Chain A
Amino acid sequence: MSMKRRDFLKIAGISSILSVGAKIAEATHPTWIAGPDPKQLEPNKQALTAKRWAMVVDMKKFRTEADTLKVIDACHRAHNVPDFRTADGKVDKKLEVKWIWQAGYERAFPGQDNKYMSDQLRKMPFLVLCNHCDNPPCVRVCPTQATYKIKGGITMQDMHRCIGCRFCMAGCPYGARSFNWVDPQRAANLDVKKGGKLNTEYPMRTKGVVEKCTFCTERLQNGKMPACVEAAPKGALLFGDLDDPGSEIRKIVTTRYTIRRKPDLGTGPAIYYLIGGSDHA
């Protein structure tokens, strides 16, 4: 085999450049690509765990609208949810972000209303939130796996990975997902310069991502019940393991008549509503 002097010089030159480049890259780039040893990761011991988290909303325990608003406020404060208002002080429906909110009977349970139902029931402010479905359409349509199921049946949202395509919002039959059309830090309740208050233990979001209720995953992992459950009147929101035959919510769901939102869609919602009748057993 013979090689021209010119070719030899070319190869020698390129390989020496590459070796210097590799040295520079080696010296300046992080190398810990493999990440931590699994032994270095340890879940919190006080974390609350369940096979299937679910919630029972006992509408009888919400006496006044103030009770409902208190719950919504507690959730939205805990998670730095922006509260956009128009100039006249009303909620700006175009920019609204909601994790938990209230809806009338016909909105919450369409198809289950009738002409002669009482006004009291029709106008009852039902607390609605993400249903953390067994078979969530949002997870199926998400192109980046930014929304996914975690242990306990919670439908989780990874704001880092969300690209803001809003397929999940089209997929969700409950309207439980909101898009950040503008930087949420512009909302008066989050803008510190305008007297806003932040929960510094939880992040905000940025423009262009979708957000929703996460069943307070961060609180469960630290051994606390969800913010809404803590803020609600005693027994109005019950949170527990539906898979555990001994749990309180399992007993209620078994012994009492509960309804869920749009169960005929086959999504398997995990929020159960108790509407009337006596106090639960």
Chain B
Amino acid sequence: MRLYNGGLIITGIVVFLALATFPFTYNIGKANAKPDIKLEPAIKKSEELFGKKQCVEPKEWMRREHMVLLNHWRDAVVRDENRGYLRKDTGARFNMSLQNECMQCHSSKKNFCDQCHNYIAVKPFCWDCHIAPTEKEEAGS
């Protein structure tokens, strides 16, 4: 077998591969580092309320479904005038409100929302209108 114009073709392939993979090679070790999730400042209020850390639903479930939950909450509050949400297993009551409930415990948007959202490049528009809690300056950072 003989490759005609081999030099040109191979150079072309190399240049193409270099260009096509540039976004990946350029970012090696940079943006793709998984966020080291910090949830500080610590979850406080739920401990006062329930004697232990307790979220609206179990943690793993929330990680996966929180966006759907927030949509349902919004519809319940804005359209059906329903403000109370009962946790499925324990029946604990939560006030359906991003500003007045979620962010009371998870009091840092930077640590609680942005770390993961930035990593996976999603830009929810919650904070176009809703007011994020004031970020406390962390010591040493």
Using a CB–CB distance below 8 Å, which chain A residues touch chain B? 30-33, 35-37, 39-44, 47, 80, 148, 150-151, 156, 158-160, 198, 200-206, 217, 221-222
Contact = CB atoms under 8 A, between A and B. Distances in A.
B130 A203 contact: yes
B82 A42 contact: yes
A43 B82 contact: yes
Interface in B50-92: 64-65, 67-69, 72, 74, 76, 78-88
B88 A37 contact: yes
B99 interface: yes
Contacts of B93: 42
B116 to A, nearest CB: 13
B81 A31 contact: no
Contacts of A217: 81
Interface of B: 64-65, 67-69, 72, 74, 76, 78-88, 93, 99-100, 125, 128-131, 133
A32 B81 contact: no
Contacts of A203: 99, 129-131
A159 B85 contact: no
6 contacts: A30-B68, A35-B72, A36-B88, A39-B86, A203-B130, A221-B81
A208 to B, nearest CB: 10
A202 B65 CA distance: 24
Nearest to A35: B72
Contacts of A204: 129-131
Contacts of A221: 81, 83
Contacts of A201: 99-100
A30 B65 contact: yes
A44 B84 contact: yes
Contact of A40 (B79, B81, B86, B131): B86
A36 B85 contact: yes
Given A42-B84, A43-B84, A32 B68 contact: yes
Given A31-B65, A35-B68, A160-B78, A41 B84 contact: yes
B76 A151 contact: no
Given A37-B88, A160-B74, A201-B100, A206 B128 contact: yes
Contact of B81 (A37, A150, A159, A205): A150
Contacts of B64: 30-31
Nearest to A49: B81
B109 to A, nearest CB: 12
Contacts of B128: 206
Contact of B79 (A30, A37, A148): A148
A92 B83 CA distance: 36
A268 B137 CA distance: 53
Given A35-B68, A160-B78, A201-B100, A206 B84 contact: no
A33 B85 CA distance: 17
Nearest to A80: B131
A43 B83 contact: yes
Given A35-B72, A150-B81, 20 more contacts: A32-B69, A32-B72, A37-B88, A41-B76, A41-B82, A43-B81, A44-B84, A47-B83, A80-B131, A148-B79, A150-B79, A160-B78, A201-B100, A202-B99, A203-B130, A204-B130, A204-B131, A206-B125, A206-B128, A222-B83
